[in-house]
Structure 1
Amino acid sequence: MTQDTLSEAEYDVITDAAAHWCMRLHAADCTDEERRAFRAWHDAHPLHALEYEAMQEIWEVAGDLPRTEPEALAAQRKPSRPWGKFAAIAAACALALPLAAYSGWSLGWLPNSYQHYAATDSVRQVTLSDGSQLELNLNTDLTFSNFKHERRVTLNKGEAFFTISHDTSHPFVVRAGEGRIRVTGTRFNVWLYEDQVRLNLVEGSVLVSSNRDLPGEGLRLGPSMQARYRHGDYLPQISQTYPGDSSLAWRSGKLVLDNLALHEALPLINRYLSNPLMLADTSTGAIRVGGIYNIKELNNFAGSLPKVLPVYLTRNKEGNPVINSMPQRPPKS
């Protein structure tokens, strides 16, 4: 599976494996070794997780299916066995396998198109199969799945600017962190770092939710509005962006720090670093920093800090650089 767009045969292999793991993990004799093997398979490709989730839904539905007449008669003739229900569900799951492979699209369970995109050391521009255009910042990873009822991007890490192909009957959904952004056609930017998500809307409108498991479609944003949320937030924080906002400067290869406190600046910087910068304490985090930086040269940022700020660097036991504020000298008597 080296191609971004998978063939029908490759889809079938993944679906078969998902059905196998679904049955094994529900079996009473499933071993720890099998569970470890499943986890390795599950994490090996984003579509593995997607297919397994779909198979889980089939499994749950199969558990509620009524028995056929022969099964009911057989139950009257034979004593009940502990694995009887499992066997019935497993059979239903096996019968449902062709449905997942060939009818999953029409039922809205499986995508008919799947792409994986990543940008490492340079900004990347991509065009999705629906015509939408994306710009990916450095160290960005995302997937696109085209379902019958929605187009879905899952932002795994990083930042992307979206120009969405308009289609009111086929909404575009971005999953980032715990939240969801729903649009039909618009231009916006989404940044994800650890559990923090920030959305900047440039044109059109979106519905944003900080928890996609909550009822409703979320809060509506208009142009020049921003939403922020992180894990555990019931609602996103909404604000207006000002004309000189520099959050999209990365599209020109720049990072602009406009007199930010270090604790605000580090998440913006660390997304570009292989070894993230840490803060020694809250007083160090309050020190303010500014400037315009080339995003490809931010690995030199840490070394330059002691030249412009009253700080010095140490390293923690994990090897990460730690910023420490210089001790204040007592006033002369």
Structure 2
Amino acid sequence: MPATPEHSDAITEAAAQWCMRLHAEDCSAQERAQFEQWLGEDPLHAQEYAAMAEIWTLSDQLPRPAPAPRVHLPQRRPALRSWAVAAAISAVALPLAAYTGWSAGWLPDAYQHETSQGALRHVVLGDGTRVELNLDSELSYTNFKDHRQVRLSRGEAFFEVTHDAQHPFVVKAAEGRIKVTGTRFNVWKYQDQVRVTLVEGSVLVSSINADPDGGFRLGPGMQARYKAGDYEPQLSQTYAGDNSLAWRDGKLILDNLPLADALPLINRYLEKPLVLGDDHSAHIRIGGMYDTTRIRNLVASLPKVLPIYLTQNNEGNTVLNSIPAQP
């Protein structure tokens, strides 16, 4: 049953209260346990809290003003409650702060949070950009005065960016930045690894710590790969049979890859990642086409098609162990 507006408002209010409480220095372990319980009661709780936490992070980027002088209220009005004073001040200060923040480029005037779980999703961002989200993906969109920004928290997304040369579109993933004005490209993220595939137009790929106007330019058919800690991405040219975008048809295609390269692509769809049990298993190759909604079936079938056997480690991960060759 869809949530009523009243129910949604209650969740939003609760998420805001939890966000403020968890960031307080005196937040207790008991309160954190109560928060975890609230978070697990309804998927909407986690979704709303994630959006609230993103807003909190944005507000943290604002410069802090100098402390305001203390104001002594007249004693002849004891009935005036402190919350009423705060509300009155906020009614004037918040719109002014929001306008000032927008004009200075500190605050966005639009925010959008999107996730996908068991199915691919098509979403349209506030600027008209079209995005396809792969399974278990999450992003947030904010519109600033001088640029548009997407934070890809996890998963994979294909972007068809609305062209605006004066208002660049920036995707942040792990410790890298992809900057465009209007183009079609794909961003894949797993843990701290990122792969950018350009289909049309051009993009600049750079470290998040580098010059925002610099970077390495990709042309159509090129890829850039990087991981956390890399100052420069690895650039390559895709070939005619490249399968990077097969996920848009619900497929994962492994083209005779060593397990060391295939596992990040497989693990993207698993709750518990597969791990390699030894150095030899990293070099065993795997190929084939798989349904992205049934990757668990692939894991179960691995010992039937590869010289490996499965075990579990203490953390509950499935371990791929190589079978020694017979003499």
Equivalent residue number for residue 209 of structure 2:
213
Conserved? CA contact 2:120–2:135, under 8 Å: yes
Answer whether contact 1:188 1:203 (CA < 8 A) is retained. yes
| Structure-2 residue corresponding to 1:86 | none
1:39-118 equivalences in 2 (<5 Å): 45-58=49-62, 60-63=63-66, 97-118=94-115
Alignment partners' CA distance in 2, 1:296 and 1:252: 11
Instruction: For 2:245, give the aligned amino acid.
Output: L
Is the aligned partner of 1:165 residue 2:162?
A: yes
Residue 279 of structure 1 is matched in structure 2 by 276
Q: Which one of the candidate residues 107, 129, 133 is aligned to 1:132? A: 129
Alignment of 1:292 with 2:289, yes or no, is: yes
Query: What amino acid does structure 2 have at the position aligned with 1:275?
Result: K
Where does 1:173-212 land on structure 2 (aligned, <5 Å)?
173-209=170-206, 211-212=207-208
**What is the TM-score of this pair, normalised by structure 2?**
0.78
The 3 A distance-change label for structure 1 pair 55 and 314 is closer
Segments of 5+ residues of structure 1 without an aligned counterpart are 72-92
8 A contact 2:161–2:183 mirrored in 1 = yes
Any idea what SS the aligned residue of 1:45 has? Answer: helix
Report the Cα offset of residue 113 of structure 1. 1.8
> Could you tell me how far apart the structure 2 residues matched to 1:62 and 1:106 are?
16
8 Å CA contact 2:16–2:49 kept in 1: the answer is no
Paired residues of 1:15 and 1:101 also in contact (CA < 8 A): no
Q: CA RMSD in A?
A: 3.6
Tell me the alpha carbon deviations over residues 6-35 of structure 1, each in whole angstroms, 9 at most, x when there is no partner.
Answer: x9xx999999998x78xx96xxxx53539x
Deviation at 1:52, TM superposition (A): 3.4
Looking at structure 2, the residues matched to 16 and 105 of structure 1 have their Cα atoms a distance apart, in angstroms, of 25
What corresponds to 2:84 in structure 1? none
1:294 Cα shift?
Answer: 1.2
SS in 2 for 1:145: strand
Provide the C-alpha distance between the structure 2 equivalents of 1:50 and 1:319, rounded to a whole number of angstroms.
Answer: 31
The one-letter code sitting in structure 2 at the alignment partner of 1:192 is K
**Structure 1 residues 196, 94: CA separation in 2 closer, same or farther (over 3 Å shift)?**
farther
Q: SS of the counterpart of 1:272?
A: coil
Letter in 1 for 2:65: A
Q: Which string of whole-angstrom CA distances, capped at 9 and with x for unpartnered residues, describes residues 292-321 of structure 1?
A: 111112110111111111111111112221
Asked if 1:234 corresponds to 2:260, the answer is no
Residue correspondences, number: 295
Confirm or deny: 8 A CA contact 1:228 1:236 kept in the other structure.
Answer: yes
Matches of 1:16 and 1:101, distance apart in 2: 21
3-state SS, counterpart of residue 62 of structure 1: coil
Are residues 228 and 96 of structure 1, via their aligned partners in 2, closer, same or farther at CA, if it must alter by over 3 Å? farther
Q: In structure 2, how many angstroms separate the alpha carbons of the residues matched to 1:309 and 1:12?
A: 52
Q: CA deviation at 1:213?
A: 2.2
In the alignment, which of 30, 33, 40 is matched to residue 28 of structure 2? 33
Residues 312 and 318, structure 2, Cα contact 8 Å, conserved in 1: yes
Aligned to 2:322: 325
